[in-house]
Amino acid sequence: MDEKDLEKLGLNKNEAKVYLALIYKGQATASELVKSIGVHRNIVYDNLEKLIDKGLVSSINDTKKIFIAQNPTAIIEFLESKKTQVDTEITLAKNIIPDINKLLNSQTAKQEAYIFRGVSGLKKVLGEIVQAKQSWCIGITALSIKILGDTYWKNYNLKKKENKTEEWLLWNSDYKDVNLLNNNKRSHHKILPKELNQVTEIIIWNNKVAIFAYSSQPIVIVIDNTEIFNMYKANFNFLWKLSKEKFKEQN
């Protein structure tokens, strides 16, 4: 047994250190524990008091105050008291959840837009999109490959194939690399007219719209709003009609 084992039971680092030293001695003064552990006396005193509150240590007053490690069953009693406290807190939480929901539902303005930053933010949003049954993308750009890399997109496309995602993709006309495409019959591809190349990549799915800016410090804005989703979906349909087929041989 070491300090880490005691920490796993819920003691903090210093509590575990003091308690273990006292276990080895059985009983000791605070000064003896300070010498044994080699930490500041205030740390020993403070944590002895915490251990007493937890029922793991007791004390007697002789010519000096002596601290005693309690019977090991005190550890079980300590954990049972923690469980009782947690059960009480869970019950309280369940009781106030309806009140919290009422307060949240009473708010007239609900958050509908979220911002994600950095590569981890890109991957978080894409991780949700790849689970969708249908998605539409406007303006696929080579910058997405530069930021996330070939391997990420190959795995992403494989996941879409596994999840049987039906997708419609509009590629910027200057996109050249077709090696990332896989033989997915549910993927439909067209190329945008050169004059309609997009500076951001937009993905539409599940009543949401994600606007990706693949800059040196990438950012994604996600809008969760049915009306805006329908507007972007209508825009996609319009651009789809204006675009020509691309990568037909890959499908």
Q: What is the 3-state secondary structure (H, E, C) of the chain?
A: CCHHHHHHCCCCHHHHHHHHHHHHHCEEEHHHHHHHHCCCHHHHHHHHHHHHHCCCEEEEECCCEEEEECCCHHHHHHHHHHHHHHHHHHHHHHHHHHHHHHHHHCCCCCCCEEEEEHHHHHHHHHHHHCCCCEEEEEEECCHHHHHHCHHHHHHHHHHHHHCCCEEEEEECCCCCCCCCCCCCCCEEEEECCHHHCCCCEEEEECCEEEEEECCCCCEEEEEECHHHHHHHHHHHHHHHHHCEECCHHHC
Residue 145: its pLDDT value, please?
Answer: 85
- The lowest-confidence range among 40-44, 117-121, 183-187 is 183-187
Residue 221: its pLDDT value, please?
Answer: 95
User: What's the average model confidence in pLDDT over 199-215?
Assistant: 93
Residue 94: its pLDDT value, please?
Answer: 87
**pLDDT of 251 higher than 50:** no
Residue 213: its pLDDT value, please?
Answer: 93
Structural domains of the chain, with CATH: 3-73 (1.10.10.10), 113-250 (3.30.870.10)
Of 223 and 105, more confident: 223
**69 Cβ neighbours under 8 A, 6+ residues apart:** 19, 22, 23, 25, 26, 27, 56, 57
Of 27 and 177, more confident: 27
Banded model confidence at residue 106, pLDDT cuts 50, 70, 90: low
